[in-house]
Amino acid sequence: GSFAVQFAKDCGCHVVATCRNSDKADILQSRYGVDRVINYSLQNVEDVLRSEYGGMIDIAYEGVGGTMQALAWENLAPGGRLLSVGYISQYPHAHSGPIQSFSNALPRPDELFWKGQTVVDDTKTAFGNVWPTDASVRHQALEHVCNLYAEGRVTPLIDDTHKFHGIESIP
């Protein structure tokens, strides 16, 4: 997500990002220049999207799944695109119960993602699993990202609050 917002900002987009705490919100705004951060532990995402963006989101890069995916879909502009890059809120470790769809227009997030489905509904399109399968395209993308990094246009977010000692300490 932190790279996605940087790529979007680098392209000149107005970026809206969601996060769960004030530390992440501060990083998104101060370090990455996100235009609107919605801290969902303090704000209702649905209310903010409807009141401030009401159906005017052109591209939603979405990796949470569940209700977040449904909200992104509902708030897309005509011609808008939803890019499904995962569904972390519904992974087994999240203990969120069985995976389900929260939108009548979309399949379950895991099906959309793993089957790489494309769903067109009225004027909106959802793309599941947007990662390139062609090795040459992945190579070009990696080269582009490395160039952006070398030019200082994107930077990784590194959690330096934990000191790791050996590979077994990483989890």
3-class state of residue 168 by DSSP: helix
> Apex CA 94: angle with CA 60 and CA 88, to 5°?
20
Residue 171 has a pLDDT of: 67
- Top pLDDT among 33 and 130 is at 33
What is the 8-class DSSP label of residue 93? G
Smallest CA-to-CA distance from 53 within 22, 13, 90, 100 is with 13
**In angstroms, what CA-CA distances link 13 with 7, 10, 60, 82, 125?**
9, 7, 12, 15, 19
pLDDT in tens, 121-154: 989 999 998 888 899 999 999 999 999 999 999 9
Tokens (6 digits) for 21: 């705490």
* Cα distance between residue 53 and residue 75, in whole Å: 7
Quick check: 127 and 82 in contact, CB under 8 A? yes
pLDDT in tens, 88-126: 888 777 666 677 778 888 988 889 999 999 999 989 999
**Conformation bin of residue 162: beta by default, left when phi > 0, alpha when psi is -120 to 50:** beta
Residue 39 CA, chain-centre distance (Å), reads 14
pTM: 0.86
